[in-house]
Chain A
Amino acid sequence: EVQVLESGGGLVQPGGSLRLSCAVSGFTFSRSWMHWVRQAPGKGLVWVSRINSDGSSTSYADSVKGRFTISRDNAKNTLYLQMNSLSAEDTGVFYCARDRSGSLTFDYWGQGTLVTVSS
C-alpha cells in the first residue's frame, strides 16, 4: 500500500522559516521524481518545486525561487522543503506528490500539511 505523509507545517511569523518533510512507502522512492504543490485557502493548486530521483536536479516556481529549497534523502525515503523568508502569500496546504516516470503526471499525493504565515 502506498503511503505519503507530510509533516512540519504550522504557524510561523512573516520572515520566518519552516522545514516540511514527506515520508513515503509502498513505491520505489529512489527512482521517483517528486514535487511540492501548494493550495492557498479556498484557492486552486499551484506547483511549487520538483526534484529528480537522485537529487541532482531541481526546479522552482518563480514565486519561491531563492527562498525555498527542495531536497531528498533516498536512504530515509523522505522528501523535504526548506522554506525561508516566508510571507502571508505562502500560507496554504502543501502537498507532496509523486511524478509518474518523470512525465509530470502526479499519481500519488499526501494528505497535505498546513502552513500559516501570520503575526
Chain B
Amino acid sequence: DFQMTQSPSTLSASVGDRVTITCRASQSISSWLSWYQQKPGKAPNLLIYKASSLESGVPSRFSGSGSGTEFTLTINSLQPDDFGTYYCQHTWTFGQGTKVEIK
C-alpha cells in the first residue's frame, strides 16, 4: 500500500529558529504533494501545493521543496503563531502529522 511517512513526529523549537519537516513517499509521486497546517480544534489550512508552490495568503517564511519520494517543509524564522500539527498529503493519503511546539 502507498504510504506517506513524516519525520519527526514532534518537534520543539524557539521563535526565530529554522524548522524542517520531512515527508517520504513509498513510491515516486513527482511533485504532487501538498502541506497543511492544523491548529487544535480547527480545520487544516493549505500552505503549499505541488511541492513548492506557496498558497495565496500564506506567509513567505513557509517553503516547500522536493520531488520524487522525498519532500521538505521549511519554516524560516519560526513565529509564535506557527504552532500546530503539519501534514503532508498526496492524493488520498496523508502523512501521520508533525506536531510543532514553541519552546
Contact between B43 and A112 (Cβ–Cβ < 8 Å)?
Answer: yes
Choose, from B19-27, B70-78, B86-94, the stretch at the interface. Answer: B86-94
**Count of B interface residues, CB-CB < 8 Å:** 22
In the complex, which residues 43-85 of chain A have their Cβ closer than 8 Å to any Cβ of chain B?
44-47, 59, 61
Known A-B contacts A45-B87, A100-B49, A105-B49; the reply to A110 vs B94 at CB < 8 A is no
Specify the chain A residue showing the minimal Cβ separation from B97: A44
Number of A positions contacting B (CB below 8 A): 17
Whether the Cβ atoms of A106 and B96 lie closer than 8 Å is no
Q: Say yes or no: B43 contacts A111, CB within 8 Å.
A: yes
Contacts of A95 in B (CB 8 A): 43-44
Most chain A CB within 10 A, of B38, B44, B90, B97, is at B44
In the complex with contacts A104-B91, A107-B55, A44-B46 CB distance below 8 A: no
- Other than the given A104-B89, A109-B44, A111-B43, 14 more pairs (CB < 8 A) read A44-B87, A44-B95, A44-B97, A45-B38, A45-B94, A45-B97, A46-B94, A95-B43, A104-B90, A105-B34, A105-B49, A106-B34, A106-B36, A112-B43
Q: Jot down 19 A-B pairs with beta carbons below 8 A, ordered by A.
A: A44-B87, A44-B94, A44-B96, A45-B38, A45-B94, A45-B97, A47-B92, A47-B93, A47-B94, A59-B92, A104-B89, A104-B91, A104-B92, A105-B34, A106-B46, A107-B49, A107-B55, A109-B45, A111-B43
